[in-house]
Amino acid sequence: ITLPAGALGELLFRPVNTRKDSSLWNELIERYHYLGYKPLPGAQIRYLVFSGPHLLAALGFGAAAWALAPRDRFIGWTAEQRVQNLHLVVNHARFLILPWVSSQNLASRVLAGVARRLPKDWQTRYGYQPVLLETFVEQGRFHGTCYRAGNWIQVGQTQGRGKLDRHTRYPLPVKDIFLYPLHKRFRRELRTS
């Protein structure tokens, strides 16, 4: 599929709710995403994105990182507020435009569409709406162009350590941290004690 994003027509974001869709999503991510498939942590929603009958993309959202200094400074919350309200932050853990799809601006269009859709789907599934999205973009591999084009805010970088590595024994690539507010007063919501 080689078309400008505007020529693709309406995008359909189908939540992964069936075994068939789950198997398809897992297989696509394992085969075509550079990180491969791993179960998403905590509360999660996965999507398959279509234009008409054509499958274009797969996205996955899960639990936010526990402690992330640049994000936490940007929000301005206390450790206690973070413990109480971290569930209102959702991590955009997987984003895959299928390799046979070449469509300028499609990635930023997909990001905009899922940002509109996800809060309602999360409310339906979990009984509350998240107010902030976070994602990580590996430096040297990606530039974060679609996130910048979609008005995501770059707030800093990871330290190149995994969430379980307290002694820097297993260095990981440094990643840029991007955030996307889903609510005008996201800081107020996240700072509520």
pTM higher than 0.85 = yes
79 CB-near residues (< 8 Å, 6+ apart): none
Cα–Cα distance measured from residue 45 to residue 109, given in angstroms and rounded to the nearest whole number: 19
Q: What pLDDT is recorded for position 4? A: 63
Q: Position of tokens 């269009």? A: 109
Percentage of the residues of the chain whose pLDDT score is greater than 90 = 75
Answer whether residue 164 shows pLDDT above 60.
no
Q: What pLDDT is recorded for position 103? A: 85
pLDDT band for 159, please (50, 70, 90 cuts).
confident
Answer whether residue 105 shows pLDDT above 60.
yes
Q: What pLDDT is recorded for position 27? A: 97
Once rounded to an integer, what is the mean pLDDT over residues 141-166?
82
Once rounded to an integer, what is the mean pLDDT over residues 147-174?
77
DSSP string across 2-47? B--GGGG--EEEEE--SHHHHHHHHHHHHHHSTT---PPPSS-EEE
Answer whether residue 162 shows pLDDT above 90.
no
Secondary structure class of 125 (helix, strand, coil): helix
Q: Which sequence spans correspond to the domains of the chain? A: 5-191
- Asked if residues 43 and 89 have their Cβ atoms less than 8 Å apart, the reply is no
The closest alpha carbon to 44, from 95, 91, 12, 77, belongs to 91
Report the CATH superfamily, name and number, of domain 5-191. Gcn5-related N-acetyltransferase (GNAT) (3.40.630.30)
Secondary structure class of 149 (helix, strand, coil): helix
Cα–Cα distance measured from residue 41 to residue 107, given in angstroms and rounded to the nearest whole number: 24
Per residue in 169-190, pLDDT (tens digit) is 557 788 999 999 999 999 999 9
Average pLDDT, the chain: 91
5-9, 126-130, 156-160: range with lowest mean pLDDT: 5-9
Per residue in 66-103, pLDDT (tens digit) is 999 999 999 999 999 999 999 999 999 999 999 999 88
